[in-house]
Amino acid sequence: MADWGIVAARFLQFGPALILFGMPSFFLYGVAPERPRSKRGLKYVVAATGILSFAGAVWWVLAETAMIFSDPGQFTPDAVWTVLTGTGFGRAAFLRIILIAVAIVVPFVARSSRRVWVVQSLIGATIVASFAWTGHGVKDEGVAGFVHLVGDIVHLLAAAIWMGALLALAALLLTSIRERTGAREVLRGLEAFSSIGVAVVALLLLSGVINSWFLVGPSHIGQLLTSPYGLLLDAKLALFAGMLALAAANRYRFTPQLSAALPGAGSQEISLSVLRRSIVWETALALLVLAIVSLMGTLEPPA
């Protein structure tokens, strides 16, 4: 049975941590990071997501400590320190907590917007990759363990790029209501993400197949319809398919419509409204995927 405290802690830190990498990356390749509005507003978004992720990381460590030291009298600061320094999970979590704290501060001390996003992207990538050392992939050894770990890291980073772009695009779409030039910036962002979107999806699919090979395996495919882990994986794949459908509609239908509508203010608003709804739905599906992944991490996979 799942420990819902740990599930909630995983979700609280996991989603914001993906944004700590994905959003700064988007503002390096998607829009001009030197724009004043981007510099002023997004550092607060990064700080807010960092605080949420920091709270989730601390909560996860405390929940794991409480599970290991089940006697209330044993749940002491020394017990927490033992978990942080004496276990592989604890060391990865400790590093993550430190890096998240740094990520919260960086936007307020770095002067150049581009420098902020470069540093944040590097820190965020390390934070996201650290989740691979607290997942199922660390149970394998040798070459298999290395392949599984690399698959986990690639899957996490690709998911972060997608999630961060969604949030950044949602922010651009919301502000486009107030700015005359907002539609053009939205279009630039959509076209920039579309240029790497195919590669992101390909990496997600390839790394997902690798991870499923280790966690489910050919001999346990039947359990995809019977085990709790398998049913959650089915739900995750269905939600992922929904995200792909919306992403395809954004790229091949809604983005060209916005491009064609730029000369007219009225048609711009209609196209932006359609895009806003699509991005909101895609983001909602992504959050559901993160919730499922947070739960799957507490269950034993078939293999």
Choose among 33, 187, 163: nearest CA to 110: 33
Q: Identify the domain boundary among 88, 106, 134.
A: 134
Assess whether 58 and 121 both reside in one domain: yes
User: Distance between CA atoms of 300 and 54, rounded to whole angstroms?
Assistant: 26
Assess whether 259 and 179 both reside in one domain: yes
Assess whether 289 and 184 both reside in one domain: yes
Choose among 43, 44, 59, 56: nearest CA to 16: 56
Element counts in the chain: helices (H) and strands (E):
10, 0
How does pLDDT run across 148-201, given as a tens digit for each residue? 889 999 999 999 999 999 988 888 887 766 655 567 778 888 888 988 989 999
Assess whether 108 and 179 both reside in one domain: no
Assess whether 162 and 244 both reside in one domain: yes
Let me know: does 13 contact 53? Beta carbons within 8 Å. yes
Assess whether 112 and 161 both reside in one domain: no
Count CB neighbours of 208 within 10 A: 19
Q: Which domain holds residue 266?
A: 140-303
Q: Tell me which amino acid residue 182 is.
A: G
Assess whether 235 and 125 both reside in one domain: no
pTM: predicted TM-score of the whole model, two decimal places: 0.88
DSSP code of residue 221 = G
Assess whether 110 and 29 both reside in one domain: yes
Assess whether 164 and 290 both reside in one domain: yes
Q: How far is CA 5 from the centre of its chain?
A: 20
Non-local CB neighbours of 3 within 8 Å, separated by 6+ positions: 63, 67, 298
User: Distance between CA atoms of 175 and 193, rounded to whole angstroms?
Assistant: 18
How does pLDDT run across 86-121, given as a tens digit for each residue? 888 889 889 999 999 998 888 787 666 777 788 889
Along the 303 residues of the chain, how does pLDDT read in single tens digits? 457 788 888 888 888 899 999 988 998 887 754 454 544 566 778 788 889 999 999 988 998 888 888 777 788 889 999 999 988 888 988 999 999 999 888 878 766 677 778 888 999 999 999 998 877 666 666 777 788 889 999 999 999 999 999 988 888 887 766 655 567 778 888 888 988 989 999 999 999 999 888 888 777 777 777 788 889 999 999 999 999 999 999 988 988 888 887 766 556 777 888 888 999 999 999 999 999 998 988 888 876
Domain tally, the chain: 2
User: Distance between CA atoms of 25 and 124, rounded to whole angstroms?
Assistant: 9
Q: Identify the domain boundary among 113, 134, 155.
A: 134
On the 0-12 / 13-18 / 19+ scale of CB atoms within 10 A, 62 is middle
